[in-house]
Amino acid sequence: MGKYAFVACLGKYSIVLDAGSSGTRAHIYRWPKKAHKGAASKELEQLPHIETTKEWTKKIKPGVSTFAKKPEKIGPDHLHDLLKHVHGIIPQGAVEDTPIFLLATAGMRLLPENEQKQILHNICSYIDDNSDFLLPDCDAHVKVIDGKTEGLYGWIATNYLLGGFDEPKAHNHGKSHHTYGFLDMGGASAQLAFAPNSTEARKHANDLTLLRLRTLNGQSNDYGVFVTSWLGFGVREARSRYVKALLKGTPGGTVDRKRPDPCLPDGLRTTLEGTVLPPDGPVAGTDPYLVGNGKFEECLRETIPLLAKDVPCEDEPCLLNGVHVPAIDFDVNHFVGISEYWHTTHEIFEMGHQDKAYDFKTYQTRVKEFCSTPWSSIKEGIEQKKWGKVDQETAFEVCFKAAWIVNILHDGIGIPRIGLEATPSHGKSGTEQLAEHGKHGKQKGYLDPFQAVNKINSTEVSWTLGKAVLYASSQVPGPKGGLPVGFGSNVPGKIPEDFEYPSSNHPHIPAPPSSGKNGTSEHWHDSLFDGESSRRIPGLLLFGLIVLIVIFFLFGRERRSRIYHKLGLRFGRGNGGSSPRRKAPFFRGKIPFFSRRGAGTSYERVLEEGDHPEFELGSMDSDEDSQSSLSPTSAVMGSRPVSRSHHLQSPKFNFDNSSSLSIASNNNSMDRRGLVIRTESRERLFPPALAPTTTGRKSRATSPIRHSTPLTNA
């Protein structure tokens, strides 16, 4: 069943719960974690191989939307059996790594937002409390998806199964086109998805959705897909609109409650809601009821207005209900229809007609024959299993559904009527053409304008498979700096702002105005605290250091001084006549803000407190100090004079901040910065009794303003 040789224990799983309008279906998908080392390069150019079986699927009724008034019951009354089913299939060791998704469709879209939220909240709580499946974020894993997303997933599933992704050359339809269109119809909505031809793709680029998938070799492939959805155009909602129009078109003043319905088999009586009534006798109640006359051609005419083709089109071209759709090139766009397209064209007729071919002429003839059959004869055929497992409800609904499907396909979307309209069939009938294509289906897929399918290569075609393919593709490691898997606005080669990742394991970080390396960018907060970031630990350490520094400087000077003492940053008075020296803090003098008052004010403190003999004078450029002089330290302590040499370094000043170097009592302007400070400090540091008299001139208390060059004598 697999494409490659894989180690079975390395398989990964995902669960997708399709919460539709009529029920919820659980799907389980499995794929290998990685291809085996000997896989050929051609195999590595393909998407991960997804596996599923019929036994892995389970459906229960009714739909989750029916729990709008009792959301607290949705867990025990609806989800319990589904969770029990999937737990029985997925190996226990793989449960915690298996993501679970519940994606609700059209039935939930029809509910008010507050009712949707309440239902989703109860679903998430129940799954989280009653299973160990991977559910990191309810907003990403349990939600209502819009019709476009549903259609896109279906398009992925169809092309994945037909080989449009993995073998593009084998599915070349001409004009460099190798993908298939997708049609889906449920009870409430209908979807259409296709890749326009190159001309239409350029013309309507802004209307396309960017889809990015990743093959096993890490290569990303982008696709531009047009997707649209029509809410209210599913068979159940269309039937409801039809009945309302039928009653509205009844002439006023009608006393008889019986309403003829050409879309019901001849002689069938039902309520407006579709409940079958006894064939004879009076009908209790006051509401009108319907009586079928089996006139299928009239049914076709009565359902055409439901297409809403007369709604104004604001963006040409349009199809149904004024919705813009790029022109469809049926030479290269071949559509595959699932769900109601399959059930309505096959369920009644599959047993009686083994060819399973669809063409307009053949199909319409068969439906017309069936619907004109008296209801009593149809009931007998149901009891005799003439149409397999078909029940009464399916049988009496097929006439309206068939008319609706035919009108959607041909009058709505514009698919050529095979059997009546000219098609590139080279003179062969529609049925013959389909049969011939079937012989080569494995090589070329479906080349007809439309073909209804249920399974491809023994796998059911479902939009849930598309979700699984997208998720599995995202689990393939990509190249460094590669673009992520997902979909969003059509901005090729980039990550659109509305880009949607396959799961919460791939969160979307909006790009700030300035981009980083490889065209991506990160917010500092995410870089520091995101668990996936390689810079998380050093980032946290840096952040903690910054916090400690800020707190340290908030303590105040005195408290910082006490911290210095406690940390042993000062030495006591030494022995042997050495001067009391302060051990400077490690950073002082190297980084200005680590000193007590900054670079300038530390020197000012020395001048004001001359009794601390820690200031050493070094050589100066001044001619007044060219002679050798005693260091203040040696003079005070009675040590022998020490000649000034290159080993004694003068203190470094911040020449750009002269205000911090000036003495408050002197407002002199200085040409030779530092001279005033050095002479002033020397005088103040020597008490009169100890002032040297023979070692050179005594410096003046202040220096006059000098307008001469630095070499001019005083």
String of DSSP letters for 47-73: ----B--GGG-EEESS-GGGGTT-GGG
Residue 537 has pLDDT above 80, yes or no: no
Residue 213: pLDDT band with limits 50, 70, 90: very high
Average pLDDT rounded to a whole number, residues 655-672: 39
Residue position matching structure tokens 């990509």: 478
Q: In what order do the strands lie in the sheet with 289-292?
A: 258-261, 289-292, 269-270
| 397-409 pLDDT, tens digit each | 999 999 999 999 9
User: DSSP characters for 541-596?
Assistant: HHHHHHHHHHHHHHS-HHHHHHHHHHTT-S----STTPPP-PPPPTTTTTSGGGSS
Note the pLDDT tens digit of each residue in 632-650: 333 333 443 433 333 334 3
Q: Name the residue with higher pLDDT: 506 or 661.
A: 506
pLDDT single digits (tens) 287-301: 899 999 999 999 999
Q: How far is CA 456 from the centre of its chain?
A: 29
CATH number of 1-145: 3.30.420.40
* CA angle (339, 340, 342) in 5-degree steps: 70
Q: pLDDT at residue 410 above 90?
A: yes
Q: Are 194 and 328 in contact (CB under 8 A)?
A: yes
| Structural tokens at position 451 | 């073909």
Q: Judge contact between 208 and 220, C-beta under 8 A.
A: no
> 361-375, 464-478, 576-590: which range is least confident on average?
576-590
H/E element, 132: none
Q: List, in order, residues 6 or more apart from 125 with CB less than 8 Å away.
A: 75
What are residue 339's DSSP bridge partners? 185
| Residue 517 confidence (pLDDT) above 90 | no
Contact predicate 302/406, CB 8 Å:
no
* Distance in angstroms (rounded) separating the CA atoms of residues 374 and 376: 5
At residue 179, the 3 state secondary structure works out as coil
Give residue 145's pLDDT band: very low, low, confident or very high (50, 70, 90): very high
pLDDT of residue 347: 80
> What is the per-residue pLDDT for 126?
97
**Mean pLDDT of all residues belonging to the chain:** 75
pLDDT at 602 over 90: no
- Judged against a pLDDT cut of 80, whether residue 701 lies above it is answered with no
- Residue 431: pLDDT above 70? no
Closest CA to 663 of 583, 582, 608, 586: 608
> Where are any strands of DSSP class E within 400-507?
450-452, 455-456, 459-460, 486-489
- Look at strands 11-19 and 486-489 and give their pairing: unpaired
pLDDT score, position 702: 37
Which residue has better confidence, 544 or 306?
A: 306
Mean pLDDT lowest for which of 20-34, 36-50, 111-125, 269-283?
Answer: 36-50
Q: Is the pLDDT of residue 546 over 50?
A: yes
Tell me the Ramachandran region of residue 674: left when phi exceeds 0, alpha when psi lies from -120 to 50, beta otherwise: left
DSSP state of 127: H
Mean pLDDT of 456-478: 93
pLDDT of residue 153 exceeding 60: yes
Q: Which residue's structure tokens are 């302590």?
A: 637
60 - beta bridge partners?
Answer: 24
Q: Which residues are catalytic?
A: 150
pLDDT (mean) for 325-349 = 90
Q: Rounded distance, CA 227 to CA 445, Å?
A: 22
Q: Higher-confidence residue: 665 or 70?
A: 70
Exposure of 259 by Cβ count < 10 A (0-12 exposed, 13-18 middle, 19+ buried)? middle
Three-state secondary-structure class, residue 488: strand
3-class secondary-structure state, position 33: coil
In this predicted structure, what is the pLDDT of residue 603? 33
For residue 427, what is the DSSP state?
A: T
CA pair distance 469, 211, nearest whole angstrom: 12
The answer to whether residue 576 scores a pLDDT higher than 60 is: no
How long, in residues, is the chain? 714
**Cβ density class 614-650: b for 16+ within 10 Å, e for less:** ebbbbebebebbeeebbbbbebbeeeeebebeeeeee
Long-range Cβ contact pairs of 164-167 (< 8 A, separation 24 or more)? 164/445, 165/46, 165/47, 165/213, 165/221, 166/45, 166/46, 166/47
Name the DSSP class of 95.
G
Token output for 425:
């069939």
User: Percentage of the chain with pLDDT > 90?
Assistant: 47
Measured torsion, CA atoms of residues 518, 520, 524, 530, in degrees rounded to the nearest 10: -100
Mean pLDDT across 187-191: 91
Q: Which of 637, 638, 627 is nearest to 694 (CA)?
A: 627
pLDDT at 28 over 90: yes
For residue 149, how many other CB atoms are within 10 A of its CB? 22
Indicate the pLDDT class of residue 568, thresholds 50, 70 and 90.
low
- Strands 258-261, 289-292: pairing is parallel
Is residue 575 scored above 50 in pLDDT?
A: no
Half-sphere exposure of 658 (CA within 13 A, CB side): 11
- Token couple for 230: 């029509």
- 191-200, 299-308, 677-686: segment of lowest average pLDDT: 677-686
Q: Distances from the Cα of 373 to the Cαs of 267, 296, 380, in angstroms?
A: 9, 11, 11
- Strands 11-19, 24-32: pairing is antiparallel
- Cβ partners under 8 Å of residue 383, min gap 6: none
Of 261, 271, 269, 275, residue with least CA distance to 399? 261
pLDDT for 465:
96
168 pLDDT band (50/70/90 cuts)? confident
Six-digit token pair at 55? 């036994």
Q: What is the pLDDT of residue 199?
A: 93
Looking from the CA of 3 toward its CB, the CA atoms found within 13 Å total: 21
By mean pLDDT, which of 132-141, 297-306, 450-459, 519-528 is the weakest?
Answer: 519-528
In this prediction, residues 215-236 reach a mean pLDDT of: 94
DSSP labels, 590-648: TSGGGSSSHHHHHHHHHHH-TTS--PPP---S-GGG-S----HHHHHHTPPP----TTS
Whether 28 contacts 89, CB under 8 Å = yes
Q: What angle do CA 30, 36, 40 make, to 5 degrees?
A: 110
- Going from N- to C-terminal start, the domains of the chain cover 1-145, 567-690
Question: Sorting pLDDT into bands at 50, 70 and 90, what band is 438?
Answer: very low
Residue 470, CA distances (Å) to 157, 460, 707 in order: 9, 17, 82
One-letter amino acid of 106: A
545: phi then psi, degrees, rounded to nearest 5 = -60, -40
- Helix boundaries (H) for 497-535: 524-529
**Residue 506 phi/psi, 5° resolution?**
-125, 70
Nearest-angstrom CA–CA distance, 501 and 463: 17
- CB-side neighbour CA atoms (13 Å) of 704: 6
C-alpha distances out from residue 571 to 567, 575, 579, 581, Å: 11, 12, 11, 7
Distance of CA 469 to the CA centre of its chain: 15
CB contact at 8 A, 146 and 228: no
In this predicted model, which residue has the larger pLDDT, 20 or 621?
Answer: 20
SS (HEC) of 345-396 = HHCCCCCCCCCCCCCHHHHHHHHHHHHCCCHHHHHHHHHCCCCCCCCHHHHH
Q: Which pLDDT tens digit goes with each residue over 95-121?
A: 999 999 999 998 899 899 999 999 999
CA distance 334 to 73: 44
Rg over CA atoms, the chain: 43
**What is the reported pLDDT for 37?**
60
Stated pTM of the model: 0.67
- Region 156-184: mean pLDDT is 88
